[in-house]
Amino acid sequence: MEHLVSSWYNDRSLPESYILPPEDRPGMLPLGKNIPVVDLGAHDQTDILQQILEASQEFGMFQVINHGVPSNLIDEAMGVFKEFHALSAEDKAIETSKDPDKSCYMYTSSHNYATEKYHFWRDGLFHHCNPLEKYIQFWPEKPPKYREVVATYTAELRKVVFRILEFIAQGLGLNPDHFSSELCENQVVLVNHYPPCPDPSLTLGLCKHRDPIVINILLQSDVYGLEVLKDEEWIGVEPIPYAFVVTLGVLMQIISNGKLKGAVHRVVTNSNLARTTATFGLHPLYETLIEPAEALVDASNPALWKVGVVSKESEEESKESFATTPSSGGEEGRPANMPLVKSHSSDFLVPVDISGVLPLPSPSSSHHYQKRVIAVTPTVPATLGSHRSAHPIVKAKALSDRTDNPEQNPTKNGQKTHHTRPHAPPEFFA
Task: Please report the domains of the chain, with CATH numbers, ordered by start residue.
Answer: 5-283 (2.60.120.330), 305-413 (no CATH)
pLDDT value, residue 171 = 97
| pTM for the structure as a whole | 0.76
Is the pLDDT reported for residue 129 higher than 80?
A: yes
Is the pLDDT reported for residue 307 higher than 70?
A: no
Is the pLDDT reported for residue 215 higher than 50?
A: yes
Is the pLDDT reported for residue 248 higher than 60?
A: yes
Is the pLDDT reported for residue 289 higher than 70?
A: yes
Is the pLDDT reported for residue 430 higher than 90?
A: no
Angle at 240 between CA 253 and CA 248, to 5 degrees: 5
11-25, 204-218, 264-278, 298-312: range with lowest mean pLDDT: 298-312
Is the pLDDT reported for residue 116 higher than 60?
A: yes
If one compares 139 and 330, the residue with the highest pLDDT of the two is 139
CA–CA dist 35, 59 (Å, integer):
7
Is the pLDDT reported for residue 113 higher than 80?
A: no
- At 311 the three-state DSSP class reads coil
66-75, 142-151, 241-250, 393-402: range with lowest mean pLDDT: 393-402
Is the pLDDT reported for residue 31 higher than 80?
A: no
Q: What is the mean pLDDT of the chain?
A: 75
Q: What is the mean pLDDT of residues 62-66?
A: 98
53-67, 118-132, 164-178: range with lowest mean pLDDT: 118-132
Determine contact, residues 321/395, Cβ cutoff 8 Å. Answer: no
Q: What is the mean pLDDT of residues 259-280?
A: 95
Is the pLDDT reported for residue 422 higher than 90?
A: no
Residue 117 burial (C-beta neighbours within 10 Å; 0-12, 13-18, 19+): middle
Q: What is the mean pLDDT of residues 320-344?
A: 29
Give tens-digit pLDDT for 37-59: 999 999 999 999 999 999 999 99
161-170, 221-230, 298-307, 308-317: range with lowest mean pLDDT: 308-317
CA–CA dist 37, 195 (Å, integer):
28
What's the distance, Cα to Cα, between the start and end of the chain in Å? 21
Spell out the alpha helix ranges (H) of 275-367: 315-318
CA–CA dist 298, 402 (Å, integer):
24
6-15, 81-90, 201-210, 329-338: range with lowest mean pLDDT: 329-338
Residue 33 burial (C-beta neighbours within 10 Å; 0-12, 13-18, 19+): middle
User: What percent of the chain has a predicted confidence (pLDDT) above 90?
Assistant: 51
